[in-house]
Amino acid sequence: MVHRLCNIKKVGDMLVGYARVSTHDQNLDLQRDALTKAGCERIFEDRASGARDDRPGLTAALSHLREGDCFVVWKLDRLGRGLRALIDFVEGLHHRGVDFRTLDGGTQIDTSTAQGKFFFRVMAALAEMERDLIRERTNAGLAAARARGRKGGRKPKLTAQQICHARKLLADPEVTIKEVAASLKVNRATIYRALGLGAAGRKRSTA
């Protein structure tokens, strides 16, 4: 069942609908009908992937919204955003005095109600907890790697054995850095960095 209204606060406040499909051969009629039945006076549309930020219909809808209005979508996935981005989006509406509502899906949301506000606070807390857990796992992995003698970041191009071999080769004044680099299948800049060579090394590389 579709409830007709958000808790519209005063005469003049509007329900503004947004509908989206990903491709031009998909039909918007189901979403249009649901938004119209819910009482949306204006409906903005996009035919674009939810991953895109440059959606003219969504931009126009956000520009049209005023304090006291309610932004309505058929389902949450019509916004096509990840959890953290979705929470930030709804919080942005809240700061403008705009409510948010979904009409269908596993969980109907209406931030004009106490239950809807509570639901989004829980979602925000879960998103924050997920971010903290990811950070903790990353830091724990880096700490474990350091304990085993490895550092985070890009894997070195030359092993300690190869660096030692390069030093021995360059002990011969007749051997150039270019030749050493070629033998190790790396470029000269890698040899410079690995051996800590400066201008002197660059002069030798062309000698």
Q: What amino acid positions are annotated as catalytic residues?
A: 22
Structure tokens at 35: 């938004």
Q: How far apart are CA 117 and CA 113, in angstroms?
A: 6
